Amino acid sequence: MLRNLQACAIALFLLIAFSASDAEAAESCSVEAPYEGVSVVGIRFPSESSADAVREALEKICEIRLLRDEIPSSSDEFVEYMLTRAQLKQAQKMLPRSTFRVLIGDLNAAIIHESATEIAPPAPKAPKCTLTESSACLTGSLPMITPSDAIIAGKIDVSFYKKYHSYEDLVERYKLLAATYSPYVTLETIGESVEGRPLHMFRVGNTSEAKPIRVLFNAMQHAREWITTMTVLYTVERLAAEASRSESWDSKVQLLVVPISNPDGFVYTHVADRMWRKNRSPETRCRRSPGRTGVDLNRNWAKDFSGGESTSSDPCSDVFTGPKPFSEPETQALSNLVTSTPGLVAHIDVHAFSQLVLGRWSYSDDKPPRVKEVDELGELLNEQLSSGGKRYDYARGKTDHIYLASGVMPDWVFTQGVLSYTFELRPKTTWEGGFILPAKQIIPTSKEFFKAAATVLDYVVS
């Protein structure tokens, strides 16, 4: 009843606001980088029809842009939009104050602040390292780790993790790590991105087992989720530093880590649009806004491909599935890796944000096979992630914390007999920055992830 009344009130508001807003409607605008004057706003709709009306009114000013694809069926949730100044003004006119909340007042300022929170001293230029010239490379003045110290102390130089890095700096670090911790760590290439960048993979663990157990982590299918790469890289580095001096290193488990699953998208977030999510496939063009062309890699997998949950066949959409399952070289490389890796038993697809461990199916609320095992490990991982003082939650489906999604990686990996999870790292809410996590949180986030990583490795052995 109350909801109906609210819906009527909004409809009335809209009628009045529409006539008053012709001037704004004429104003041309788009929600695009560098996001000057853009806010992130959560709107609670009393009913689906009021949601449609509000969306329509905002679209008159500019194409509406969701922060991420979350159109909840239960209207109790806030749907989060990136709104231009004109759209925000319009929303303020149309909606009762209690139905919307400004979560990030100035997205552009948040992006600037993200990198500025930790000012690292300028690093001396690293010598160019290649995998084959490890010792020559390591004699130069290195900005990052002093390898022998790290090995002896079993510690890592964390200064690298005080800020986010460019693609080139990360690759430099990969090479340095592989050279430093050889033969415990090797760096391989599992394929190429649309734009021809190598898809790097670490193999961590120098096992002499004929049939080792293997675990796979991959990060950054979504380009804007910068924390994910920093976190898995920290984990490789710490595991290598600690395990390379331990007798028990030559164990039964080998860890495979793909730190950047979407390198083109990642580079694009640095040079053009910090909020970019998809890959950079030019194949199926977004005609009305060519800059938004790309495929959501985490909708391009074969399980329930193009199903009804959080997908779109519109190439402009952030959840565009692509033309067919595995149409993208990035998902082809990752899926080939899964099918061609003997002994693979567990997998984590690392994302941000919401502080969640997502087990079970993503595309449906049905219980998956092995549900007891899935939940048992999921809860354990969640406990470890939560041990750093931030609460994570283990989510079992739609009713729990996040929307369902079709065609995602962990669902397909699970069909290959591998226990598979999505992690959504810090922060918990958009209000805390959402995808824009201040750099000073890289190390704490990485530390809690490291604990969860160690737990998976223990779990699969026992």
Closer by beta carbon to ligand 0X9, 150 or else 402: 402
As measured in angstroms, the least distance from the Cβ of 29 to ligand 0X9 is 25
For residues 305 to 344, the per-residue mask of contacts with Zn ion, x marking binding by CB under 5 A and - elsewhere, is: ----------------------------------------
Piece of the chain touching Zn ion by CB under 5 A; list 13-21, 178-186, 278-286, 346-354:
346-354
As measured in angstroms, the least distance from the Cβ of 446 to Zn ion is 17
Closer by beta carbon to Zn ion, 281 or else 298: 298
Piece of the chain touching Zn ion by CB under 5 A; list 84-92, 219-227, 234-242, 426-434:
219-227
CA pair distance 446, 296, nearest whole angstrom:
25
Residue 175 binds: one of ligand 0X9, Zn ion, none (C-beta under 5 to 8 A by kind): none
CA pair distance 385, 452, nearest whole angstrom:
6
Cα–Cα distances in angstroms (integers) from residue 206 to residues 81, 139, 242, in the given order: 47, 24, 13
Q: Using an 8 Å Cβ cutoff, are 280 and 195 in contact?
A: yes
Residues facing 320 on adjacent strands: 312
Note if 424 is an active site residue.
Answer: yes
- Sole binder of ligand 0X9 in the list 235, 269, 298, 384 (CB under 6 A): 298
CA pair distance 207, 253, nearest whole angstrom:
7
Cα–Cα distances in angstroms (integers) from residue 161 to residues 106, 207, 255, 380, in the given order: 26, 28, 21, 26
Closer by beta carbon to ligand 0X9, 44 or else 277: 277
Count of positions on this chain that bind ligand 0X9 (CB under 6 A): 13
- Sole binder of ligand 0X9 in the list 362, 382, 386, 420 (CB under 6 A): 362
- Indicate which residue of 32, 330, 424, 448 is catalytic: 424
Does residue 351 bind Zn ion (CB under 5 A)? Answer: yes
Footprint (CB under 6 A) of ligand 0X9, residues 213-232: 222, 225
Does residue 222 bind Zn ion (CB under 5 A)? Answer: yes
For residues 393 to 432, the per-residue mask of contacts with ligand 0X9, x marking binding by CB under 6 A and - elsewhere, is: ---------x-xx--x-------------x-x--------
Does residue 358 bind ligand 0X9 (CB under 6 A)? Answer: yes
As measured in angstroms, the least distance from the Cβ of 409 to Zn ion is 10
Closer by beta carbon to ligand 0X9, 115 or else 312: 312
Radius of gyration of the chain (CA): 23
As measured in angstroms, the least distance from the Cβ of 308 to Zn ion is 19
Residues within the interface to Zn ion (CB under 5 A): 222, 351
Residues within the interface to ligand 0X9 (CB under 6 A): 68, 222, 225, 298, 351, 358, 362, 402, 404-405, 408, 422, 424
Instruction: Just list the catalytic residues.
Output: 424
